[in-house]
Amino acid sequence: MLHIDNLKATIGGNKILRGLNLTIPSGEVHAIMGPNGAGKSTLSNVLTGRDGYEISGTVTLGGADLLQMKPEERAAAGVFLAFQYPVEIPGVGNMYFLRTAVNAVRVHRGEPELSATEFLKLARAEMALLKMDPSFLSRSVNEGFSGGEKKRNEVLQMTLLQPRLMILDETDSGLDIDALRIVAEGIERMRSPERSMLIITHYPRLLELVRPDVVHVLDKGQIVRSGGPELALELEVEGYDPGRRAVTA
């Protein structure tokens, strides 16, 4: 599904990604952990087409050259990014935003658009699973939402869009125990043989609920270590420096 070869990214003269290699086959969930400044968020930005980076290397999604696509083309091709800090969009209704996005993707796939009634029925069903009040559809996108509500709204978007590649950039940050479990259940429902998932996180708590196939350590712009789910627990104890135990509160 996703294949990254020798990816380099520079912004403002600073080299962030330094020859990153990563392959995520269809149906697999991979997690990336690493210290601050390692390049985790830069990787998600590059994959989704954020401006400002000087990029070299190759990135393909299902054989298609992702780096040659505009951000909206990547979204239509099935790339989805759940933000660490979802933005508020005052004046843009959540239902209008979601239905417009869903129908744009459906048109790209050659599927019929959903009517307002069809979309509302689908959205309410998914919101019930995420324990979201249906009234959130009538509010502006993320405006006045709590941190947990914003993250649930991100998962709602993801569920409705049905992407091929899901990139979750520290979706677990700022969530209490109950919200984390609800969000994790929503992510887990998206697991599919036709879908790949990249979870970026600092902590293993989300990975205990959404168990990855592979955990990678990103440091100084490169994947320096990979292992099974147990690697996340090892990092929690030892930290990213093998010779130093992590400081715990």
Within a domain: 232 = yes
Within a domain: 122 = no
CB count in 10 Å sphere of residue 178: 10
- Contact status, residue 26 vs residue 196, Cβ threshold 8 Å: yes
What is 149-214 written as a DSSP string? HHHHHHHHHHHHH--SEEEEESTTTT--HHHHHHHHHHHHTT--TT-EEEEE-SSSHHHHHS--SE
* pLDDT for position 248: 39
How confident is residue 119, by pLDDT bands cut at 50, 70 and 90? very high
Measure the CA–CA gap between 108 and 78, rounded to whole angstroms: 10
* pLDDT for position 232: 87
Residue 76: CATH number of its domain: 3.40.50.300
**In Å, what is the CA distance from 155 to each residue of 136, 166, 188, 245?**
14, 10, 11, 34
Q: pLDDT tens-digit profile of 165-224?
A: 999 988 887 788 888 888 899 899 999 998 999 999 888 888 888 899 999 999 998 999
* pLDDT for position 37: 83
DSSP type of residue 84 = S
User: Whole-model pTM?
Assistant: 0.86
Domain that holds residue 171: 2-87+145-238
Sequence-distant (6+) residues with CB within 8 A of 154 are 82, 83, 86, 171
Measure the CA–CA gap between 39 and 80, rounded to whole angstroms: 19
Question: What is the total count of domains within the chain?
Answer: 1
* pLDDT for position 228: 92
Within a domain: 61 = yes
Within a domain: 249 = no
Nearest 5°: CA angle at 229, between 77 and 85?
A: 50
Within a domain: 55 = yes
| pLDDT over 50 (residue 121) | yes
Write 151-154 long-range contacts (CB < 8 A, 24+).
151/82, 151/86, 151/175, 151/179, 151/183, 152/179, 152/182, 152/183, 152/186, 153/86, 153/94, 154/82, 154/83, 154/86
| pLDDT over 90 (residue 99) | yes
* pLDDT for position 170: 85
Q: pLDDT tens-digit profile of 16-42?
A: 999 999 999 999 999 999 888 888 889
Within a domain: 59 = yes
Q: Mean of the pLDDT values across residues 242-247?
A: 45
Within a domain: 106 = no
Within a domain: 176 = yes
* pLDDT for position 102: 93
